[in-house]
Amino acid sequence: LRYPVICIDGPSGAGKGTVTWRLSQVLGYQLLDSGALYRIVGLKAFEAGLMTADASQAIDEMAVLALTQSLEIAFVPNNESGRVDIIVNSEVVGEQVRNETVGGYASQIAVFSKVRQALLKLQQDMATRSGLVADGRDMGTVVFSDADVKVFLTASAEARAERRVTQLLNAGQTADFEAILATIKARDDRDENRSTAPSKPAKDALLLDSSHLDADAVYEQVKQYCQAQG
């Protein structure tokens, strides 16, 4: 038996998380937040002293692989945050991985093909139990290349930086637009130009630019596209 899979790929800040959560709720599908997997491994690798925050140090791929293989990972939906919590070796990892610093650690270890391979089965197995909405960079190109629906959701780096600034200000924090923009561009660059599973639209993906759309409009368009694909 094969369950339906919907892939929502694209850079961070394009709105994938929100649309993925809403679709999974409405359809009663599981949600795969694949970025969280890379964030966990990145954070653990940083804590283990395997990398520097500024990406100035070469990383030992085999050491990150061994660390990845030592992690027992499971996902649990959290209705309060509207995201999925991750359980790693029986410890709940919540919002502490959802910041740009850990996003940077994630993109440093996400270039390693052996690490990606080690995370592959865990992701693919999620589609063997029920329908799935999968959020990431390579869902439509690699992990679920035969998915029923593929969307590549993007937005200009400036629009994404602007959203991040608004988020931080709303949370009572300070925000420097130029610094945020530079960080976003550096992460995009690493994700798009790596040799293994670079971030790019699948050939059969719907391309959607959310630069001038709010979250509701993105959700409506993606939902309509899913319906049109049957």
Residues near ligand C5P (CB under 6 A)? 12, 34-35, 38-39, 103, 106-107, 110, 136-138, 187, 191
CB of 84 to ligand C5P, least distance (A): 11
Rounded CA-CA distance 157/162 in Å is 9
Cβ-based nearer residue to ligand C5P, 44 or 187: 187
**Helix, coil or strand: residue 5:** strand
CB of 7 to ligand C5P, least distance (A): 10
CB of 58 to ligand C5P, least distance (A): 17
CB of 192 to ligand C5P, least distance (A): 10
Q: At what angle do helices 16-27 and 215-228 cross, to 10 degrees?
A: 50
Cβ-based nearer residue to ligand C5P, 138 or 162: 138
- Tell how many helices (H) and how many strands (E) occur in the chain: 8, 8
| Helices within 150-210 (DSSP H only) | 157-170, 177-193
Rounded CA-CA distance 124/110 in Å is 17
CB of 124 to ligand C5P, least distance (A): 12
Cβ-based nearer residue to ligand C5P, 143 or 227: 143
Rounded CA-CA distance 188/196 in Å is 14
Which residue ranges make up the annotated binding site for ATP?
10-18
C-alpha torsion angle, residues 105, 190, 161, 103 (rounded to 10)? -20
Cβ-based nearer residue to ligand C5P, 12 or 24: 12
Cβ-based nearer residue to ligand C5P, 18 or 230: 18
Per DSSP bridges, beta strands 149-154 and 5-9 are: parallel
Tokens of 29: 């599908």
Chain residue at closest Cβ approach to ligand C5P: 35
Which residue ranges make up the annotated binding site?
10-18
